[in-house]
Amino acid sequence: MILLSLLPGGVLRLWDVLENGYWHARSLSYTATPLARHVEWLRIWGDSIFILFGVVPLVIGLLLAYRDLWRRQALGADSTRPAIGSHTP
């Protein structure tokens, strides 16, 4: 992600800031250039890895916890299985 996204995009934008000013590097005249668009599309690889190994497991864990919460509510308060994080002596 750093090699394909943050480093080249940041270096190119910094170069443009030094040559033309901050206003130009944030404008459409810079972001619409073919080089800037190409660097932007290179981000897909790093972002995909982040989504696949970061966000998807988090969403699966949240869904499993939510399902367990509903299952516990359906069983009622007299369930023999203690709740997660409960401190029973």
pLDDT tens digit string along 9-56? Answer: 889 999 999 999 999 999 999 999 999 999 888 888 888 888 889 899
The 3-state DSSP composition of the chain as helix, strand, coil percent (nearest 5) reads 80, 0, 20
Q: Please report the pLDDT score of residue 50 as a whole number.
A: 83
Q: What average pLDDT does the segment 54-71 reach?
A: 92
More confident residue, 80 or 74: 74
Q: Please report the pLDDT score of residue 43 as a whole number.
A: 85
H-run or E-run covering 35: helix 34-50
Residue 13: partners with Cβ closer than 8 Å, 6 or more residues away: 25, 30
More confident residue, 63 or 85: 63
